[in-house]
Amino acid sequence: RKRVRTRHFQNAKEQGIPIVGLTSYEQLSAAIFDAADIDFLLVGDSAGNNVFGDETTLAVTVDQLIPLTRAVARAVSRALVIADMPFGSYEGGPDDALHTAVRFMKESYAHAVKLEGGVRSAPQIRRIVDAGIPVMGHIGFTPQSEHGLGGHIIQGRGAGAEQLLADAHAVEDAGAFAVVLEMVPSDIAGRITKELRIPTIGVGAGPQVDGQLMVWTDFAGFSIGRVPRFVKQYANLSQVLGDAVGAYRADVASGAYPAPEHEYEG
């Protein structure tokens, strides 16, 4: 199986082949998604919520994300693995950003990094790309600036459209190989997709983009609490696992487990 490279993202856009991504935080899901030909796996800072039990993505650190990213990178043979740079690890400037990106590449075997912000993050993107590390941008609703944005708010509506376009172009001009558009109206996402040469990856950005990304625990029905409108749930893993553990508990209580076929002979 041939590894997905950033040039395949470019080819996919040119040929109109949708790019499909999921988040992953450990080797079990990563191996399954890779075998299913998911093109890229993002080890998102959403691990803060989904692995470490935090309320937002703000607290998770580079030290926490590196071992998760390494587990995902080791589990795949085809998917492009992208390390999400957490809040506080690149805002200080291009030197900070490069330092963090280099840590992920050396210590986690990721193939690329992602960071949030358009115009404001362009110098960081440029510095990392110049060092030979592919960067995925992320604009629209950027969860790391939730408090600055005033909550989970759709971006790019009305007068916000011009800012979003400027952010999209800034990310492309800085050398990113793709850009995530999170929670933006479909028409503006479509316009950005037409204007940019690099592929757009939608997270709640409608169908007029070059690819889609979902948080894996959301798509699989394995999340705690409410999921956003843009999520389509393809399974109910919480139910499956809840039923299984209930059956196990009942079997132990009744003596049905272990049965003779689970025993070793002397």
Q: What are 140's strand-pairing partners?
A: 182
55 annotated to bind ligand: no
Burial class (CB in 10 A: 0-12, 13-18, 19+), 45: buried
Which is nearer to ligand KIV, 158 or 219 (by Cβ)? 219
45 annotated to bind ligand: yes
The reply on whether position 84 binds ligand KIV by CB under 6 A is yes
Which is nearer to ligand KIV, 1 or 152 (by Cβ)? 152
146 is catalytic: no
Catalytic choice (14, 91, 182, 195) = 182
Stretch that binds ligand KIV, among 40-48, 158-166, 232-240, 250-258 (CB under 6 A): 40-48
Half-sphere exposure of 60 (CA within 13 A, CB side): 27
- At residue 178, the 3 state secondary structure works out as strand
Query: Looking at this protein, which amino acid is placed at residue 198?
Result: I
Cα–Cα nearest to 21, from 3, 6, 10, 34 = 34
- Please give the residues from 125 up to 144 whose contact with ligand KIV meets the rule CB under 6 A: 138
The one of Na ion, ligand KIV, none whose footprint includes residue 23, by CB under 5 to 8 A per kind, is ligand KIV
Rounded to the nearest 10°, the torsion over CA 10, 75, 202, 44 is -120
The reply on whether position 178 binds ligand KIV by CB under 6 A is no
Minimum separation from the CB atom of position 136 to Na ion (A) = 10
In the chain, % helix, strand, coil (3-state, to 5) comes to 45, 15, 40
The reply on whether position 44 binds ligand KIV by CB under 6 A is yes
210 annotated to bind ligand: no
The one of ligand KIV, Na ion, none whose footprint includes residue 100, by CB under 5 to 8 A per kind, is none
Which is nearer to ligand KIV, 13 or 25 (by Cβ)? 25
Which is nearer to ligand KIV, 180 or 188 (by Cβ)? 180
Of these, 34, 84, 172, 210, which contacts Na ion (CB under 5 A)? 84
Stretch that binds ligand KIV, among 1-9, 39-47, 146-154, 158-166 (CB under 6 A): 39-47
Query: Looking at this protein, which amino acid is placed at residue 29?
Result: S
Half-sphere exposure of 264 (CA within 13 A, CB side): 1
3-state SS, 199-259, equals: CEEEECCCCCCCEEEECHHHHCCCCCCCCCCCCCCCCCHHHHHHHHHHHHHHHHHHCCCCC
Token digits for 48? 């803060």
The reply on whether position 44 binds Na ion by CB under 5 A is yes
Contact residues for Na ion, defined by CB under 5 A: 44-45, 84
Known catalytic residues?
182
Annotated binding site, which residues? Answer: 45-46, 84, 114, 116
